[in-house]
Amino acid sequence: MRFPSKDIVERLRREFPVGARVELVRMDDCQAPPPGTRGTVRGVDDTGSIMVAWDNGSGLSVVYGADLCRRLFEEVS
């Protein structure tokens, strides 16, 4: 597996800032939370993995190029 460029890591950090809410789409890990699990971003490491505190207590990161999550945007009324 190749690591992403510094530019990609910086883009991920802008797209998934600390505190952002995300929802898991897929994760290639036998201990992964189920798809649809939500969590809060703790940061993006130098390999482009999104570090998440999942609402179910899991702390598995979303690995760049293997796993997928989507950012949630809260509607403001």
- CATH number of this structure's domain 6-72: 2.30.30.40
Q: Please provide residue 31's backbone torsions phi and psi, each rounded to the nearest 5 degrees.
A: -105, 15
pLDDT in tens, 17-75: 999 999 999 999 999 999 999 999 999 999 999 999 999 999 999 999 999 999 999 76
Where in the chain are the domains?
A: 6-72
Residue 17 C-alpha from the chain's centroid: 10
Is residue 49 a contact partner of residue 60, using CB atoms and an 8 Å limit? Answer: no
pLDDT of residue 37: 98
Question: Under DSSP, is residue 6 helix (H, G, I), strand (E, B) or coil?
Answer: helix
pLDDT of residue 75: 60
pLDDT of residue 3: 85
Helices (H) and strands (E) counted in the chain, each on its own, are 1, 4
